[in-house]
Amino acid sequence: MTLLSVSTICGQSEDSPTAFAYQSPIVEKVIFDDSVMLAQERHNYATNLAAYAANLVSVEKASKESLESARRILALALHLERRNKQAVVINFQLREGVIPEIKKGDYNPRTFARLLMTRAKLLLKSNNDNESERLLARCFIELAAHIDPRNEDAVFEYENQRLDSGDLDWRVLTDAVRDKPSRVSGEEDPQG
């Protein structure tokens, strides 16, 4: 009995959070490939997105909102690079109920938001019918607005896209099991 108590106590660190529920995104096949962005660029975005998600959860002490945001951000990171070390490790830690340590990303949040906006504009500028490019641009715009709500360009673009196309249905990324999404706006209406 004493041994069990000691192992239970030793297994918990003093920083151990109260239990939190995190549902890993389902990413069996990636949506974004070389037709959308080159591998090295996808790697860089995935790594920085994962670092941002880890920091968000850590700073907000695994609040329900931070975990839902992290799920979306990690899903996007994993769709950019399926085996991105940072994203895979952070996703595992959250699934196991461990709050990740603060990660050093390549950019501070304001700079990262501007970078996401710039890349989103380039994706939209190509003016082709690549559904994946449009989806990635919408994700980047939404994240940029939430990462830096003082970035008026990001907020303006995000609000315009919400008015024009409605809210982005993140289930396309968080619960994706296809190579390509069937619709940018999300899955079919279950009542239809």
Q: Contact at 8 Å (CB) between 73 and 32?
A: no
- Which pLDDT belongs to residue 190? 39
Indicate if the alpha-carbon torsion angle 170, 61, 93, 96 is positive or negative. Answer: negative
Overall size of the chain counted in residues: 192
- The Cα–Cα gap between 105 and 112 comes to 9
Identify which has the larger pLDDT, 92 or 8. Answer: 92
Question: Model confidence over 16-74: pLDDT tens digits?
Answer: 445 789 999 999 888 999 989 999 999 999 999 999 999 999 999 999 999 999 999 99
Question: Model confidence over 147-164: pLDDT tens digits?
Answer: 999 999 999 999 999 999
- The Cα–Cα gap between 67 and 35 comes to 30
- Which pLDDT belongs to residue 18? 55
- The Cα–Cα gap between 39 and 84 comes to 11
